[in-house]
Amino acid sequence: MIDLALPDMTDTASSPERENLLTLAPDAALERLRTWFSARDEPAYRATQVFARLWSRPVNAFADMTEQPKALRDALAETFDIPRLELATRQTSTDGTEKFLYRLHDGQLIETVAIPDGDRLTLCISSQAGCALQCAFCATGAMGFQRNLTPSEIAGQVRELRMLEPAILATNIVFMGMGEPLMNWKAVDVALSLLNDPRALGIGARHITISTVGILPGIVALSERPEQFRLAISIHAPSDALRHTLMPVNTKYPLADVIDAARAFDRRVTFEYVMLGGVNDQPEHATQLAALARDCQAFVNLIPLHPGGSLGFTPTSAAVIAAFARALRTRNVETAVRRSRGLDIAAACGQLRTERLGRRLPVAAQDHSEVHVA
């Protein structure tokens, strides 16, 4: 059985003498700034001005907040920190997809992918460095788990792209990069507020999707938030027997329990299903998957396997994927086939990091602390 305990999300990115404002939820950051300005007999509106320069109109440093007097900028820089993520690599595909590799303060590398599609621009962001789940076909899982990301490192991926010249402005966010977001709920919870709050990054809740293998306590925690965030569940196999061979987490969270959670979720759920040649793409699998999807009114998203991160699996042919999709639709299951993007760059999740760092040993279980999802 896989160990689901992970390290604490304490933010160590900022200087020990300075407080990282980017790791605070909007209300907490504004209250902290108001208190700071009040102690200096400065008007409260200055807190709102500074907060706007953290996220909605971000700057590199306090010195760049030229609407503030220089003495205040210097004092802010002595008290607070707004750390950057270091861009290590940027790759651009012929189809317009861009992949960014960011180096964190401790040398860890994480990946962000920008996917343009007409007037939409979707950012695929990471929530952990590595992943503990070891799904058989996933390059991120093969590298092992290193640590949780902090809120500033999660939402900071979106902030960094907003600071480019020209800026990359996301219309949609998917937590489908490195890591399992619901195993880092305390940080993801704050990051969701930063992404969604109109005072921060201002991305609509219905344009933000959390993808999970089915971490049940995290699904409950997400459902308890009032915003209409989207939920995608990585199914990848329509039976416990097959799913267990592909996804060890199925031992702790069996398929039937995951389907129950999807049925109870108060918004429509998407099933993510990576097509693995000769493994989960046969007609009987389509019949089984259709029954699961109908049970909880799920939308099914069929995903061609990216050859760059296939780990020995064979991508299902386009003809077989099309037949599989027809079989689902015939059974009244709404289905889409995701278009493969970034085939000419290292766009499989975790692939670029692995090329840079290799497959590092995972963090030892005894070094983990409990995950708290609520």
Active-site residue set: 111, 349
Three-class DSSP category at 77: helix
Nearest CA to 208 out of 225, 217, 216 is that of 225
3-class SS of residue 129? strand
The dihedrals phi and psi of 43, each to the nearest 5 degrees, come to -65, 150
Enumerate residues 6+ apart whose C-beta is below 8 A from 38. Answer: 44
Instruction: Read off φ and ψ for residue 97, nearest 5 degrees.
Output: -65, 140
Helices (H), 40-91: 45-52, 70-79
Task: Region of 42 please: left (phi>0), alpha (psi -120 to 50) or beta.
Answer: beta
Other beta carbons within 10 angstroms of residue 211's beta carbon come to 21
